[in-house]
Structure 1
Amino acid sequence: MPRARRKEARPGELLAAALDVFAEKGFAATRVDEVAARAGVSKGTLFLYFSSKEELFKAVVRENLSGRFVEWDQELEQFQGSTAELLRYCFETWWERIGSTQASALGRLMLCEANNFPELAQFYRQEVIEPGHALVRRVLQRGMQRGEFRLLELEHAVYLVLAPLMFLMLARPTMGLCIPCPDSFDAGRYIALQADNVLQGLLVRPA
């Protein structure tokens, strides 16, 4: 049953409704009046907060992804364990906070529609991709500086960490449809296995 129409809605409710619609339909096919209806308000009310669909999308990205990098940077700084433990923690928390949530649809959306919306693609690169790469580089540098990881070419090594996460982000919605998937597939176990696999290549071996 659709929500009863209201005169006002908090911006957070509008952003939650927008995330759901963007995740379901992508950017191009999303209509602002549909987002407003999902939030139970008029299109005019939505435009009081967000001047366009592009600005609405940017706000959704900041709410769910780029606005969290300060928190993640602080967690990295305060982490007390080994860098191997830190990397496992990064894999697990990415899945818990992003990969298993609606927010993961934003990355899929941009990969599919970037060529059609270059301005939004540039925004996403600056707000999400570049800070995300910088965070991974800091983890790898930590391991190298502490003598835990072998010396790496950082610009390429970043993708060793990101590739298995990107696969899961892209493949999960179609598993069992166009991508064969056993009934026993467990994303958490996949994440743990990939962390083990990446660390096998990163860790310094005893002489």
Structure 2
Amino acid sequence: MSSTRLADDSQSRRERRKEARPGELLDAALDLFVEKGFAATRSEEVAARAGVSKGTLFLYFPTKEELFKAVVRENMSGRFAEWQEEFMKFEGSTADMARHFMRVWWERIGATRASGITKLMISEARNFPELAAFYQQEVIRPGTDLVRRILQRGIARGEFRPVDVEYAVFGVVAPMIFLIMMKHSLGACAPQDYPLDPQRYVDTQMDMLLQGLCARPGAQA
């Protein structure tokens, strides 16, 4: 390789380091957190994958914990504002709303790399209680609040029968967690003939849930 080519490559790497943006760092961090977990991921690995120096990474994110929180906000908790807006504007039945939000959750979170963060938190929460509390505040609480509002809407409109909403929320959330765990653990190494199509799974779970939730004419509350 000529000295000119080497100089050009060196200049290109310097420009890339100089022009690095937080988005590139967050993408690299998300990949590594999902691949290796929080504890095993080192800051210098994130910087290397993003093509920047460790010092550049620390300019944006002084600690690995702050980097993780930024990844969660960028890929998960930042979605709730748009979902709340969709909830307010939705004009169909509550059953249709529930189906819509379950499908949207899979498309925007479950089917993406970000779903691996949920598996990471389940496996590492006890070792990082501060991050667990952060995840509870940023993801779990607004997520369950949204599901609660959907159930309450259906009950208030007479579409769903009265249920214990606080616990019915778990019946909606649990199938979503199962699908994520299958995708990032057993499902990742299961034989190819293992039958689990995510969309069919989501639709089937919603059909079963709605059969239990929907009010029936003449039924006693």
TM-score class, shorter-chain normalisation, is over 0.9
Give deviations 1:127-162, integer Å, cap 9, x for gaps.
111111100000000000000001111110001101
Q: What's the counterpart of residue 206 of structure 2?
A: 195
Task: Please state how far the C-alpha of 1:186 moved relative to its aligned partner.
Answer: 1.2
Query: Under a length normalisation based on structure 2, what TM-score does the superposition of the two structures give?
Result: 0.88
Cα distance in 2 between the residues matched to 1:183 and 1:156: 31
Match of 1:43 among 31, 37, 54: 54
Q: What's the counterpart of residue 29 of structure 1?
A: 40
Which runs of no fewer than 5 residues in structure 2 stay unpaired?
A: 1-11
| AA matched with 2:82 | E
Q: What's the counterpart of residue 187 of structure 2?
A: 175
Task: Please state how far the C-alpha of 1:68 moved relative to its aligned partner.
Answer: 1.4
Match of 2:17 among 7, 19, 31: 7
State the secondary structure of the residue aligned to 2:112. Answer: coil
Kept in 1: contact 2:151–2:160 (CA 8 A): yes
State the secondary structure of the residue aligned to 2:159. Answer: coil
Q: What's the counterpart of residue 8 of structure 2?
A: none
| AA matched with 1:140 | L
Check if 1:121 corresponds to 2:141: no
Cα distance in 2 between the residues matched to 1:11 and 1:54: 15
Q: How does 1:143-158 map to 2 (within 5 A)?
A: 143-158=154-169
| AA matched with 2:90 | F
Q: What's the counterpart of residue 102 of structure 1?
A: 113
Closer/same/farther in 2, CA of residues 84 and 37 from structure 1, 3 Å limit: same
Task: Please state how far the C-alpha of 1:22 moved relative to its aligned partner.
Answer: 0.4
| AA matched with 2:50 | A
Query: Under a length normalisation based on structure 1, what TM-score does the superposition of the two structures give?
Result: 0.94
Cα distance in 2 between the residues matched to 1:117 and 1:184: 35
Cα distance in 2 between the residues matched to 1:185 and 1:121: 29
Closer/same/farther in 2, CA of residues 158 and 181 from structure 1, 3 Å limit: farther
Cα distance in 2 between the residues matched to 1:23 and 1:180: 22
Check if 1:81 corresponds to 2:57: no
Match of 1:141 among 152, 161, 173: 152
| AA matched with 1:42 | S
Task: Please state how far the C-alpha of 1:176 moved relative to its aligned partner.
Answer: 6.3
Closer/same/farther in 2, CA of residues 120 and 176 from structure 1, 3 Å limit: closer
Cα distance in 2 between the residues matched to 1:94 and 1:204: 25
Task: Please state how far the C-alpha of 1:180 moved relative to its aligned partner.
Answer: 6.7
Cα distance in 2 between the residues matched to 1:107 and 1:63: 14
Give deviations 1:103-136, integer Å, cap 9, x for gaps.
1011110110000000000011011111111000
| AA matched with 1:108 | K
Which runs of no fewer than 5 residues in structure 1 stay unpaired?
A: none
Kept in 2: contact 1:175–1:181 (CA 8 A): no
